Amino acid sequence: MRTLVGIDGCRRGWAAAIEHGDGRAELRVFPDFAALIAAVPEDALVVVDMPIGLPERIDGPGRAAEAAVRPLLGARRSSLFPIPARGAVEAWDGPHAGEAARGAAHARASALARAASEPPRGVSRQGFMLFPKILEIDRLLRADPALCGRVLESHPEAAFAVLNGGRAMASAKKAGGRPQGAGLGERRALLVRLGVPAALIDAPRPAGVGEDDRLDACAMLLVARSVATARARPFPDPPARDAHGIPIAIWLPRPDLCSAEEIGLEALQTSDGATMPLLPDALVSGYRSFVQGRYLQETQTYRALARDGQTPETMVIACCDSRAAPETIFGAGAGQLFVARNVANLVPPYNPDGEFHGTSAALEFAVQALKVKNIVVMGHGRCGGIKAALTSDAEPLSPGDFIGKWMSILQPVAETVASNELMTPSERQTALERISIRTSIANLRTFPYIAAREEAGELSLHGAWFDISTAELWAMDPETGDFQRPLVDVEDAVI
């Protein structure tokens, strides 16, 4: 299991409620944030009560994250300090020698904050005292942007409100700077009910960690649990970003998924107590590199595609084969190719018989809704589906013989090729792979709207064949149906 960490700033640095991968839990204090990050595994998920992401200007009621969360807070609204623009925070020049120096620095920060906000707004004293801690995290994230994916901001009072069924806590934790028994007791009871272990909630506190710090760190740990189990959402959703690309969002459990029973991990455990992995490890690590690499570079593209919808110009019909992925072969990014994959890249003939037709449904959407300009049928070498079609005496893989039925789209020509004694087995294989492409293109023209759009010059149909071993891409001559040697000279490219 992944290590989860809930953090609250405290007098001695950072109070951390840690749930280790092996199930152990402990409350620790770290002098600085970098030491904390260094002390936990590289994939640990860290949720912290500290603003992350600093806009260059504040227009309106505050950072997008604060504006989004404020309505949840009810009577606990004042627990959310508005954070000013980056310039004001970065002007921190402490530690200050004495109250006078601190007051002067606060006044300077307020002036900078007012100049960078509309309506002009200064800095509260509590907000000002957070600056060094805000900057600690900010510098770390700017030096290592990958941390942005696993160091997330939350807010204890908003988390308590959501975890409490959408009701803000009845009493404050503190009054006049002093802890309040009723407020602490109320929060503690909620945390115990939601499964925070005794090792965190009952153990002696390290020096410099107040009871309120402990409770807030535990609340942050519950938020980390909800993020780790996909039961959380960012406010705003999607997060905003500052000029350095740092996400601006307060993460909270999703209200519909955070009852006492559901927030715990019990539901995700098998009967022997082992946690079921949400996804295979290889996919999680692949996904991590996507988020930290391609997504990070192309965030604006993804955002625009989400906002405006997709308008791909080309549909590709390809085989399911893991070695012939169209997006990889054509170097396509998000939004560029509309892809349907099935066994042996076949298009069935138009047949509106009321049965289930996956490929025909994809075609209908691509042509009628997206109005794609091209449809490319891409076959490939060493195709298992084609091989099955050439092996007429093979046993079905299951009683339903879905493959046999599907590949019968290529009958009777498959049988003719299979019985051709002038060809070697590998020639028969390649021949049928290419025939499958021509057959699919012919079947595309049996769809009335495809034929009509092609006739009108609004849609063109293409065939291609990919050689897995050499990466050669052969293209079909529309006049003759022959395949022409590579579009790009691969050997030149390799050298």
CB of 405 to Zn ion, least distance (A): 17
CB of 433 to Zn ion, least distance (A): 8
At which residue do the structure tokens 């021509």 appear?
A: 438
Q: Using N-to-C axis directions, what is the helix angle for 211-228 and 181-193, rounded to 10°?
A: 30
Q: What is the CA radius of gyration of the chain?
A: 30
According to CB under 5 A, which residues from 226 to 265 bind Zn ion?
none
Site string for Zn ion, 280-319 (x = CB under 5 A): ---------------------------------------x
CA dist 448 and 4 (Å) reads 56
CA dist 19 and 225 (Å) reads 9
CB of 472 to Zn ion, least distance (A): 16
CB of 476 to Zn ion, least distance (A): 17
Q: Which residues contact 484 (CB under 8 A, 6 or more apart)?
A: 474, 475, 476, 477
CB of 421 to Zn ion, least distance (A): 25
Q: Total binding residues for Zn ion by CB under 5 A?
A: 4
The interface region with Zn ion, picked from 20-28, 171-179, 205-213, 385-393 by CB under 5 A, is 385-393
CB of 387 to Zn ion, least distance (A): 9
* Per-residue tokens: 310: 């997709």
* Per-residue tokens: 67: 């504006």
316 or 383, CB closer to Zn ion? 383
CB of 446 to Zn ion, least distance (A): 22
Q: Which residues contact 20 (CB under 8 A, 6 or more apart)?
A: 3, 26
Beta bridge partners of 232: 253
The interface region with Zn ion, picked from 196-204, 223-231, 253-261, 382-390 by CB under 5 A, is 382-390
CB of 283 to Zn ion, least distance (A): 22
Amino acid at 38: A
CA dist 44 and 271 (Å) reads 25
CA dist 45 and 5 (Å) reads 6
Q: Does 137 bind Zn ion (CB under 5 A)?
A: no
At which residue do the structure tokens 């009952």 appear?
A: 202
Q: Does 383 bind Zn ion (CB under 5 A)?
A: yes
CB of 345 to Zn ion, least distance (A): 7
CA dist 89 and 92 (Å) reads 6
168 or 325, CB closer to Zn ion? 325
184 or 319, CB closer to Zn ion? 319
CB of 320 to Zn ion, least distance (A): 7
89 or 319, CB closer to Zn ion? 319
66 or 321, CB closer to Zn ion? 321
184 or 344, CB closer to Zn ion? 344
CA dist 464 and 330 (Å) reads 12
The interface region with Zn ion, picked from 200-208, 254-262, 332-340, 383-391 by CB under 5 A, is 383-391
241 or 380, CB closer to Zn ion? 380
222 or 346, CB closer to Zn ion? 346
153 or 321, CB closer to Zn ion? 321
CB of 385 to Zn ion, least distance (A): 5
The interface region with Zn ion, picked from 261-269, 281-289, 375-383, 419-427 by CB under 5 A, is 375-383
Q: Which residues contact 200 (CB under 8 A, 6 or more apart)?
A: 17, 25, 26, 27, 214, 217, 218, 221
Q: Does 390 bind Zn ion (CB under 5 A)?
A: no
At which residue do the structure tokens 């396509």 appear?
A: 332
According to CB under 5 A, which residues from 417 to 446 bind Zn ion?
none
CA dist 495 and 491 (Å) reads 6
Site string for Zn ion, 313-332 (x = CB under 5 A): ------x-x-----------
CA dist 447 and 361 (Å) reads 11
CA dist 171 and 175 (Å) reads 9
CA 492 remoteness from chain centre: 38
In 3D space, the residue among 197, 148, 165 whose CA is nearest the CA of residue 37 turns out to be 148
157 or 321, CB closer to Zn ion? 321
CA dist 435 and 413 (Å) reads 8
112 or 319, CB closer to Zn ion? 319
At which residue do the structure tokens 């960078």 appear?
A: 116
The interface region with Zn ion, picked from 137-145, 246-254, 366-374, 377-385 by CB under 5 A, is 377-385
Which residues sit at the interface with Zn ion, rule CB under 5 A?
319, 321, 383, 385
